[in-house]
Amino acid sequence: MKRVVYYGIEDIRVEDAPVPEPGPGEVVVKNKVTLTCGTDCKMFMRGYRYQTPHLIGHEASGDVVAVGEGVTKFKVGDRVVAHNTAPCHKCYWCKKGQHSMCADLPSNLGAYGEYQLIPKNIVEETMFKLPDDMDYKQAALTEPLSCAVYGISNVEIELGDTVVVNGCGPIGLMFIRLAYLRGARVIACDMQPNRLSLAAKLGAAETINIEEQDQIQAVRDLTEDSRGVDVAIEAAGLPAVWETAFRQVRAGGQVLCFGGTKKDTTVNIDCTRMHYEQITIKGVFHTTPIHVNAAFELLKMGAIKAEDFVEHEYPIEETEAAIREHAAGKVIKNCIVY
């Protein structure tokens, strides 16, 4: 089988490897599609926290080709999607209900590969059979959508609230759609016209090209008396955008910082304003099993559609080109087909 291995910044290689064999409780999936992800782009362009070399990719869907001893939920031939994590339910954080902080939550990388081994804990909790009317690209959106579902569940949005989303990449666009579905008036900020166009299609009432307008004042001016938005969401992974979101929000408002930043970066916050205006800033990472399930249900309902997000198809040998095109903002997502 062919698979992609990450060796360092701007260094990924397509290599041959044996087809994995499942152990007890495990499943082997023959991938049909793999989607590019913002995390893949960050990893490729600036490095990541894991020791190299390692596998890459975590958004895929395909067919079960082998099952290990004890597997009863799935059989050979099932069309499936597997999330990339499942918590241990034993550590301190799991016992506190903070499953995204699980102390034993390794990401099951390797989605850029013709075959992929799915660990027992994922098979048991965060792997799903596809309905007959769901295609593989739609199913492969489960992981990113689950992150947006978890993120938006961590802020209070009431009907008629104004929400700004800073950064209209795949996660930001999903935030826009979810905020709209929760009854919010949504403002979208980005510099790419193609992303802003899709933001409007997904429910953004206002779009702001940040290369043409002041990102902070333009957002505040779209609220009564320029008081600021009820909720500001950061989905770019840049410290400057974290600071921007804080300056867009009203007194008593909420700031959600979802985009992961480069290691050892810091932000400057007006502590006086944060204290006296009672602004809540919340960092949120990854997702949890209940939100993975919710995301899969939303995809079954068609709340998010692959045709809006997945643009170009590439063979596995051209994975680097697919990631580079995504990283440049020319597409929302690309996919590898096998």
The SS3 of residue 311 is strand
Residues in the chain: 338
The helix (H) or strand (E) run that includes residue 246 is helix 239-248
**DSSP-derived pairing of the beta strands 162-166 and 185-190:** parallel
What distance in Å separates the CA atoms of residue 110 and residue 12, rounded to the nearest whole number? 12
3 three-class SS: strand
Judge whether residue 260 has pLDDT over 90.
Answer: no
pLDDT tens string 157-213: 999 999 999 999 999 999 999 999 999 999 999 999 999 999 999 999 999 999 999
Q: How confident is the model at residue 263 (pLDDT cuts 50, 70, 90)?
A: confident
Q: What is the pLDDT of residues 4-17, one digit of tens each?
A: 999 999 999 999 99
Q: Are 172 and 147 in contact (CB under 8 A)?
A: no
| AA letter at 205 | A
Question: How crowded is residue 44: how many other Cβ atoms within 10 Å of its Cβ?
Answer: 23
Q: Are 245 and 232 in contact (CB under 8 A)?
A: yes
- What is this structure's pTM? 0.97
pLDDT at 46: 86
Question: By the 8 A CB rule, do 13 and 7 touch?
Answer: yes
In Å, how far are 6, 138, 141, 174, 228 from 81, measured between CA atoms? 23, 10, 9, 19, 40
* pLDDT attached to residue 214: 97
pLDDT of res. 302 = 98
Mean predicted confidence (pLDDT) in 300-304: 98
Taking the C-alpha atoms of residue 136 and residue 312, their distance in angstroms, rounded to an integer, is: 14
Q: What's the CA dihedral at 9, 51, 12, 48 to 10 degrees?
A: -50
* Arithmetic mean of pLDDT, 116-138: 98
Respond yes or no on whether the N-terminal peptide bond of residue 106 is cis (omega within 30° of 0).
no
Would you say the C-alpha torsion 51, 52, 53, 56 has a positive or negative sign? positive
Both tokens of 76, joined, read 């050979």
Amino acid at 141: L
- Give the CA-trace dihedral at 194, 196, 202, 206, to 10 degrees: -160
Q: Is 66 exposed, middle or buried (0-12, 13-18, 19+ CB in 10 A)?
A: middle
Position 271 scores a pLDDT of 97
Instruction: Please give the backbone phi and psi of residue 238, each rounded to the nearest 5 degrees, phi first.
Output: -125, 130
What are the E-state strand segments in 119-176? Answer: 127-129, 162-166
pLDDT (0 to 100) of residue 115: 98
